Structure 1
């Protein structure tokens, strides 16, 4: 298109310019043209607020409430709402980080911090019953603790790397030594996780015997002893019954033998009387 384009209209000649068709926007709408009324804007803002309240960790709640106030026609929103935190995070003490965790604010670990103190403070706070009922807070604390473990491992590996460089007279490390540094970092991470596991067990009481478990074990042991005693009693009863039966059998055999002896004696006596009688009569037995 030429820089000037003449055209005729009733009443005179006119000219349009090429710059009239550039990308600049001369008219800006003051509101969303897709929203037809304030009532609709309020309804949309309420819907956004309800959705954001169901998953606050996924939304910028500050902006959600700002949209709600603007939909209501509030002109002094900045006076009502607190200023948003600075975009660049700053190191905080463990107590403030625990407070931020409850408020579901982001937490960042930094180099040079006392990582062991931060880890202990966060694990102790995470072991409280209150945090135990807040899964989102517990997960965020665990992620933050892992950041401390990772940074602490990197700092330990970097310290050993500097020692290697000093031993080489200030010469930069080669690729092989850089690979060793990565391996050392992984080793320090593994050691940090092992220490983290031990601390978690100590705080949760996993390393100490559970009184309820001890009571249950004592109860089971007592029941086992009672069962063993009952078995011994039953075994003694069986042995006593067998002995009684054996004694009765011996007594029966003795009575039977006595009866047989008595019968033999009576028979022998009867035969002797018969022989004596026959002799007295002078006869002989038939």
Structure 2
């Protein structure tokens, strides 16, 4: 595709794993001129057949970039290795490589020292969700707000784009925070199915539907915790306080024992509840547990 005959922003993409390839195909489908590089050149061949321009080195890719240089690599160390020797002055770097908040902050400083503008991103999607807005996938971005505004149209092609602040580490922080909550949910799902597994007459599909509906209903608790943390009043809007929840834990543990299920996925959270109640805060909601975690 001739870069001079399209109004779509040219995109340069470094890294063609499963996610990088999905990103590439979404930009090609939307008509964006695309330059790609991958450490293993054979992964670029199918995209070349679909209209992408392939280059032999990251330095060549960066040098020819007329729009954002998007990185979707293995880890933060790979970013430094890949861009080593590339001329970054005046370039717009968009780093979609999974990293920690501290790594993103250091990488932003590293890019600025080399004359580049920098955005960090946290992808809240799996490859099959890319280029399919109906799936609800999106990407957190943080760093240079002007850079985000300049390239927002192109960045919104693969998935929704949500800017979460000028601190370059905030995209990674939001990413990890949401994934941490997801991990806790998965722990609860695993425990629930373990409780049901000995029962031969339980329809697993029906139980799964009940569980999904219940988790969806209970997810509204996030708003209550946020309101309590914002106001500093941890009793605000409480319907089931910590004392009630802690008392119910004995039934949870007894049932787990009866069903032959190891309770260790639940007991750390139960211990936080017990400690907070013992400190005299049984009338609170969950927000006080945040303070316990922060003081650990």
TM-score by length of 1: 0.29
| Larger relative strand fraction | 2
TM-score by length of 2: 0.28
Between 1 and 2, higher relative CO (CA 8 Å, sep ≥ 6) is seen in 2
| Larger relative helix fraction | 1
